[in-house]
Amino acid sequence: MKPDLKRIVLCAVSFILCFFTASALAGEEVTFTYVPPVAGDKKIVQSDETGHWKQKITNDHGEIIENARHFELSRTTVNHTILEADGDTVKKLELKYGTAVLSESEKDVDVPASPVFGKTYIAEFKGGEIVVTDAQGKTPGDKELQIVRKEARPLGTPNYFGRFMNGKRMKLKEKLDVPKSLLEDLSKDTGRWKYESMEMTLISIDTLGNRECAVFDVQYVMTSNYWGDAVLKMECKGKAVLDTAICRPVSHAVEAATVFKGPVDVNGLKFEMDIESKMQGHESARFENLRK
């Protein structure tokens, strides 16, 4: 069994996009109000992700077992409908896929359709995990499961950031003080990755579709001890747009970079890893029936 950098990094970037463009300046300070989700809430989510990474893996005998470059492109448009919510935690979700393409080759002229294209799924947080069924109530194939679970990743997790922002008032160019306790809460939803630091600066207060939105410049660092004592570090930067009346993200753009060189231990097998990755992603959401 060899280390799988591609899956690790893609999962991290998907979590980042989940967590988290507008027009003329609307004001110099803003107040945030958090409105929890309820059954019947709808939104259309569009996402675009690309990743380039290379990895060289050498075993403890000095033999090169992999020396490769990888690429992945994913574009989706998904209609989200909340079917069940408990407080500010979404428990059950319907996902209808419109646009859905997936490619592992930069040379594709016509990017192939994803296996979820045109399909509908029900995702439910049950027994501590996300359970997925298709429109006929059957469990989909492994590739579909992987894609749908990634899209449904907020299920079962409270909106810690919305809670934190509720009632806050900020001025332009003010930096948000992100406490360690919030980073720990946000890390509960990121698998083996955790937030080490985060800086958010309010750079504009804009109007987008008749909604007041706050635009933040964001920088953060995430780490993972996926391979035991070997620590992966991901440095991220981007912009996040937050609807101030509900404290939910309207869009988020991110660039992420990871570099690692050193020994790793995978289930008792020792490897020397030399890896480098660069990811870019953008996600936007359009809410259809906002209550404020």
pLDDT tens figures, 234-270: 999 999 999 999 999 999 999 999 988 888 887 778 8
Q: How many CB atoms lie within 10 A of CB 191?
A: 15
Which string of DSSP letters, residue by residue, matches 195-208?
Answer: EEEEEEEEEEEEEE
Q: What is the pLDDT of residue 282?
A: 93
Give the chain's residues under pLDDT 50: 1-2, 10, 13, 15-17, 19-26
First to last CA, the chain: 51
Q: What is the pLDDT of residue 82?
A: 96
Nearest Cα residue to 117 out of 80, 75, 149 = 75
Q: Is the dihedral of CA 162, 168, 174, 180 positive or negative?
A: negative
Nearest Cα residue to 247 out of 198, 214, 207 = 214
φ/ψ of 103, rounded to 5, equals -140, 145
Q: What is the pLDDT of residue 210?
A: 84
Report how far residue 103's alpha carbon sits from residue 73's, in angstroms, rounded to the nearest whole number: 5
Q: In this structure, what token pair is assigned to residue 202?
A: 């309010």
Q: What is the pLDDT of residue 108?
A: 61
Strand partners, 218: 200, 238
Cβ contact 191:7 at 8 Å: no
Report how far residue 270's alpha carbon sits from residue 214's, in angstroms, rounded to the nearest whole number: 47
